[in-house]
Chains A and B, each alone.
Chain A
Amino acid sequence: MTVRALPALGPVRELGVPSEVERVLPNGLCVRAIRRAAVPLVELRLRIPFARAPLAGAELLAQTLLSGTETMSNRDIAVGLQAVGGGLSAGVDPDWLLVSGNALVTGLDRLLEVLAEVLTGAAYPQDEVATERDRLIDRIQVANSQPAHLVRVALLKRMYDGHPYAVQTPQPDEVREVRPEQLRALHTERVRPTGASLVVVGDLPPEQALDAAERALAGWTGAGERVALPPTPPLTPGPVLLVDRPGAVQSSLRVALPAVARTDPAHAPLQLANLVFGGYFSSRWVENIREDKGYTYGPHSLIEHAAAGSALIAGAEVATEVTAPALLETFYELGRLASLPPEDDELEQARQYALGTLRLGMSTQAGLAGLASMYAGFGLRLEFLAEHAARLARATRDDVAEAAARYLAPSRAVTVVLGDAERVEAALAALQPVERRPSP
């Protein structure tokens, strides 16, 4: 067998961030446009502040925003969009109402026309609201049978008790109560251009996209209520919260740790520390509990940023019989990185991954639109990517060790396990104090 050497990488090209052209419309809407001509399409993302909107109302508003206006039925909207290869959809999170869409680039005017029509005239028709209310309840019921959802619900409650982030999905009974007039009132109050941002990415000159947006959306006016959330409370470490799911063949482990905002100087070092720990496949945690021990298929560790705070969340679905050993290894890997600096080569590997995947994320229209809109939500421009890349490039081993010591320390962790309590509690209790909850 011939021994062959791994080829070296070619020279690294400078990170080119596509230029983003911005125009703030007289109604307060901030519109940003980016050209990517690779395919004859256009993507748009509209982000409207929605913090503290009532949970059930917000969800149902998103489901029925496109269900009709004074002049257009649900079907008219769907037909009008489809005819230009278009589609729109809406969703909510605790900070935003987000409307996403795409179309053939020749359909941009139509896409914006329909968007303007629903923003200024969504009618929330009785029948359509009733239908979507039932569908939403069905979906919640299905979500409530999914372990990933159940453990998320328990984790958020444990992390954020008392903060609006603690509960992010409504209960069926709350949805059942929502009436069309409440949706109309919520729309009037909150679906406003002030503080909102629209991103358009596609195969057309940015100025042309901005002009089209201005033409279509000038008539959408009014100041929405500006609602700021209090910062998320600090995590309060305590016993492992064990949520019972009798008969489960796997346990869902979730470990939450503190994190910092994207603009914080510690963010780049923390991102690298997270990668070394468990944020990508070639991390200590994945190599340990998957590739060495076979406890799990897809462990993942991610820093989640929301308007009111950031957190690092590590999650794995592990075989019931190895629940405690998997948690032991998780704390071992966190503790190892929190107390010993990473090796130079593993830091470089994580750094290259972080820098390379920035390029991959910007290489499609949809990727660019998502990134630009996400940054707009945090008051940042796409150019921030270049600044972030520079921070990633210059973070030292000491910076990363310091971030790990501070933020990855297992003593700061909030831990939730969803699984068959009868089978996993005793072993978990050997590692950490356990507080058991009945099945949700």
Chain B
Amino acid sequence: MRRRRARVWSVAARRVRIPTTDYPVERFVLDNGLRVVLAPDRSAPVIAVAVVYDVGIRSEPEGRTGFAHLFEHLMFQGSENLEKLAHFRHVQGAGGTFNGSTHLDYTDYFETLPSNALERALFLEADRMRGPRLTEENLRNQVDVVKEEIRVNVLNRPYGGFPWLKLPPVMFDTFPNAHDGYGSFDDLESATVADAEDFFRRYYACGNAVLAVAGDLDVAEATALIERHFGDVPARPAPARPDFGEPDVAAERRESYVDPLAPLPAVAAAWRVPDPITDLTGYLPYVVLAEVLTDGDASRLVERLVLRERIATSVGGYLGFMGEPFAVRDPTALLLQAHLPPGGDVDKVLRVVDEELDRLAQDGPEEGELARVQARMATHLLRDTDAVLGRALSMAVLELQRGTPALINELPRLVGEVTEEQIRQAAAALRPQRRAAVEVVPGGGAK
């Protein structure tokens, strides 16, 4: 084919200045131990309220897979002063939206509302922090709902749970890290109200939680409202957090499974990375590396696997099994995943990944390559913070895991400070023998 001349961009070699935000952040702790973060920003008449608890999938007991998530559902089933359904109606009847989600290391509950509903949202969160209504009827109902959620997201669709539920058991050996966080139907059906009461008592202590409010608020007024509604939540200390550490993968691990609904092959590979909390400096290069490898048509793996050699249909790379680089604790991983064309060769894909990592480790990024990836990452980070809920959730988790909610303002700059040498070293660490991979074997694509 005809070769086009390479376009020389006017500022191609010049580094774009990475902008940051300067959201003001207030932190305080109530007498009962509840940590609070306030992030006023009056650019739109909306607020987000987020409560995060320091318990997630890794903390659920053996024989109770899926319990952290099931319990999250039970937190919406009524509380001290609220009948079943009341929470939803009060939030939506105030013009707001709500949700909750269960992660490896935390569980969040949140509302986004017009700012005149701030006090109502605080009331609702405080009420369930004092205690949800845990009844047999609600438990059975939500077990049924969760089973349908698992069917929608895992069992009734191709590539369900790939790779977030399929790769951890290949990479990890201990139950907290390796088990299926959605849970088995047997375990879900075995759950009891007593289990739920125990789980609440142990993990849903206000000393184990962070409340964050972002958006159209006045700090003094919001502080007074928070004192009023959360001040008398009984003090309970945070439980000791277990160490979930595991040794690194010592020899390559590789497994495959047949997905009866999948029409085409796929593969995901993961490598352990430094501790995101205690070694942020050592961890950040991997966050950037994932983007160098996979962000856009000029990234190394898209260019080679998808566009040049056509041995993959799509490729992605990210940090953490749930794709949240700054909301996960150790042990965690850098993941790469690829979907392949019909008859695609997974070994070949992994071989090319190794070659590209070697090339990057030896030669380092090309001129301008790192800077442009960092600029794009800044856009993504800033875009997430434009949403009031994105800010509230990020700050809540940054406070919970690091005690530094204002890090949200620093991340674009910190990402931008990662050096070419750090990228080389990170690429050099992703050796085949440290890799855990899982392959999806298409089951014929039965419809």
Q: Which residues of A contact B (CB under 8 A)?
A: 1-13, 16, 36-41, 66, 68-87, 102-107, 110, 125-128, 131, 134-135, 138-139, 141-142, 144-148, 150, 245-250, 280-282, 287, 290-298, 317-319, 348-349, 352-353, 355-357, 359-360, 362-367, 439-440
Contact = CB atoms under 8 A, between A and B. Distances in A.
Q: How large is the interface on B (under 10, 10 to 19, 20 to 34, 35 or more residues)?
A: 35 or more
A317 B150 CA distance: 11
B46 A85 contact: no
A104 B16 contact: yes
B298 A82 contact: yes
Interface of B: 1-2, 4-7, 9, 11-12, 16-17, 19, 21, 41, 43-46, 80-81, 84-85, 88-90, 92-98, 112-120, 123, 127, 140-149, 151-152, 155-159, 261-264, 295-298, 303, 306-307, 310, 313-314, 339, 341-342, 368, 371-373, 375-376, 378-379, 382-383, 385-388, 445-447
A8 B373 CA distance: 48
24 contacts: A8-B120, A10-B117, A13-B45, A41-B382, A69-B4, A80-B9, A86-B379, A104-B19, A104-B379, A106-B16, A107-B16, A128-B307, A138-B342, A142-B262, A145-B158, A294-B142, A294-B144, A298-B149, A317-B148, A352-B92, A352-B93, A359-B45, A360-B46, A364-B44
Contact of B386 (A39, A81, A292): A39
A365 B147 CA distance: 37
B264 A138 contact: yes
* A-B residue pairs, 5 tightest by C-beta: A356-B95, A294-B144, A10-B116, A78-B298, A363-B44
Given A147-B156, A290-B145, A319-B151, A141 B264 contact: yes
Contact of B152 (A38, A110, A297): A297
Contacts of B149: 297-298
A1 B388 CA distance: 34
Contacts of B94: 9, 352, 356
A49 B157 CA distance: 34
B372 A353 contact: no
A272 B12 CA distance: 52
A359 B45 CA distance: 7
A102 B264 CA distance: 32
Given A3-B81, A104-B378, A107-B375, 14 more contacts: A4-B123, A6-B81, A6-B90, A41-B379, A72-B7, A79-B298, A85-B375, A142-B339, A146-B157, A146-B158, A282-B89, A317-B148, A348-B93, A360-B113
A138 B342 CA distance: 8
B141 A439 contact: no
Nearest to B382: A39
Given A10-B118, A83-B11, A352 B373 contact: no
Q: Which of B158, B314, B445 has the most CB of A within 10 A?
A: B158
B388 A363 contact: yes
Nearest to B99: A281
A322 to B, nearest CB: 9
